[in-house]
Amino acid sequence: MKYVGALGKTMALSLSSRSLFTSSYKSLSPLKKNPFSSFPIRQYRILFVLDPSNNNNNKTTRNKLLRRRTSFSTHASTALQEAPAPNEKIVLPTNESSDGLLRIRHTCAHVMAMAVQKLYPNAKVTIGPWIDNGFYYDFDMEPLTDSDLKRIKKEMDRIISRNLPLVREEVSRDEAQRRIMSINEPYKIEILESIKEEPITIYHIGDEWWDLCAGPHVETTGKINRKAIELESVAGAYWRGDVKKPMLQRIYGTAWENEDQLKAYLHFKEEAKRRDHRRIGQDLDLFSIQDEAGGGLVFWHPKGAIIRHIIEDTWKKIHMERGYDLLYTPHVAKADLWKISGHLDFYKENMFDQMEIEEELFQLRPMNCPYHVLIYKRQLHSYRDFPIRVAELGTVYRYELSGSLHGLFRVRGFTQDDAHIFCLEDQIKDEIRGVLDLTEEILQQFGFDKYEVNLSTRPEKAVGDDEIWEKATFALKDALEDKGWCYQIDDGGGAFYGPKIDLKIEDALGRKWQCSTIQVDFNLPQRFDITYVDSNQERKRPIMIHRAVLGSLERFFGVLIENYAGDFPLWLSPIQARVLPVTDAQLQYCNEVVKKLKASGIRVEVCSGERLPKLIRNAEKQKIPLMAVVGPKEVETETITVRSRFAGELGNMSIDEFISRTKTASDNRTFL
Catalytic residues: 369, 398, 416, 418, 420, 500, 546
Distance of CA 183 to the CA centre of its chain: 43
Quick check: 466 and 537 in contact, CB under 8 A?
Answer: no
* Nearest Cα to Cα of residue 541 among 529, 558, 552: 529
* Nearest Cα to Cα of residue 113 among 203, 190, 192, 179: 203
From residue 256, give the alpha-carbon distance in Å to each of 39, 271, 595.
Answer: 25, 19, 57
d(CA 296, CA 54): 44
How far is it between the farthest Cα atoms of the chain? 94
Quick check: 665 and 671 in contact, CB under 8 A?
Answer: yes
Over the Cα atoms of the chain, what is R_g?
29
Quick check: 578 and 624 in contact, CB under 8 A?
Answer: yes
Query: How many C-beta atoms lie closer than 10 Å to residue 650's C-beta?
Result: 17
d(CA 667, CA 518): 30
* Nearest Cα to Cα of residue 247 among 144, 134, 400: 144
Quick check: 366 and 392 in contact, CB under 8 A?
Answer: no
Sheet with 355-357: strands ordered across: 332-334, 360-364, 355-357
Q: If phi over 0 gives left and psi between -120 and 50 gives alpha, with beta otherwise, what is residue 381?
A: beta
How many Cα atoms within 13 Å fall on the side-chain side of residue 122? 3
Distance of CA 413 to the CA centre of its chain: 17
d(CA 506, CA 272): 12
From residue 604, give the alpha-carbon distance in Å to each of 573, 593, 598, 621, 636.
Answer: 10, 9, 6, 16, 22
Residues 6+ apart with CB under 8 A from 319: 326, 391, 419, 438
Could you give the 3-state DSSP secondary structure of residue 566?
A: coil
Strands 626-630 and 20-22: unpaired
Query: How many C-beta atoms lie closer than 10 Å to residue 460's C-beta?
Result: 6
Quick check: 450 and 25 in contact, CB under 8 A?
Answer: yes
DSSP state of 575: S
Within 273-366, strands assigned E span: 287-289, 298-300, 325-326, 332-334, 355-357, 360-364
